[in-house]
Amino acid sequence: MLSQLIYVSVRANECSDSEIQKILESSIRNNAKIDITGVLLYSDKKFLQCLEGDYDEIMALYDKIKLDKRHKNVVLITVGMIKERFFPSWQMGSKKINSDYEFSTKMSLSEKKDFNAILKGEKPTESKAIDLIKKFF
């Protein structure tokens, strides 16, 4: 069952940029083996990740990721079935966003409000998390 999971978490102080490169390297290596694709947005303070693939594989990976000490306060934003992948070409695409979230994407004021809500682990009111994430790629 093709599914998608999005979560937000707080980047640990000890998690340097070179640790993030290690995360991306192991993601690309491991996710290819289990046919998981997705993207990781990160700032100095937060992670926002979208995982796509088989439901059981995603849940097993999410359980593993939650235990990683390089982040904390992992909050599930959404999980559900999808008809097709939003990010089919990335084992794990990534993008750094500014910590003040003054990102230069084409977001309306209400979309920015929703994006900030998601980063706080809250449900967006108008937009879907995936549509906001897509704006960065």
Ligand X SMILES: Cc1cc2nc3c(=O)[nH]c(=O)nc-3n(C[C@H](O)[C@H](O)[C@H](O)COP(=O)(O)O)c2cc1C
Residues that bind ligand X (CB under 6 A): 9, 23, 26-27, 30-31, 40, 47, 49, 61, 64-65, 68, 70-71, 92
Q: Closest distance between ligand X and the C-beta of residue 13, in Å?
A: 13
Q: Closest distance between ligand X and the C-beta of residue 112, in Å?
A: 23
Q: Closest distance between ligand X and the C-beta of residue 83, in Å?
A: 22
Nearer to ligand X, 111 or 137 (CB): 137
Neighbour tally for 32: CB within 10 Å? 12
Nearer to ligand X, 49 or 127 (CB): 49
Question: Is beta strand 46-54 parallel, antiparallel or unpaired with respect to 37-42?
Answer: antiparallel
CA atoms within 13 A on the CB side of 7: 19
Nearer to ligand X, 71 or 118 (CB): 71
Query: Do residues 74 and 96 make contact, with C-beta atoms less than 8 angstroms apart?
Result: no
Q: Closest distance between ligand X and the C-beta of residue 19, in Å?
A: 8
The DSSP letter of residue 99 is: T
Tell me the sheet residues that pair with 41.
Answer: 48, 95
User: Can you say whether residue 53 is alpha, beta or left, with left for phi > 0 and alpha for psi between -120 and 50 degrees?
Assistant: left
3: Cα separation from own chain's centroid: 14
Q: Closest distance between ligand X and the C-beta of residue 114, in Å?
A: 21
Nearer to ligand X, 25 or 126 (CB): 25
Nearer to ligand X, 9 or 127 (CB): 9
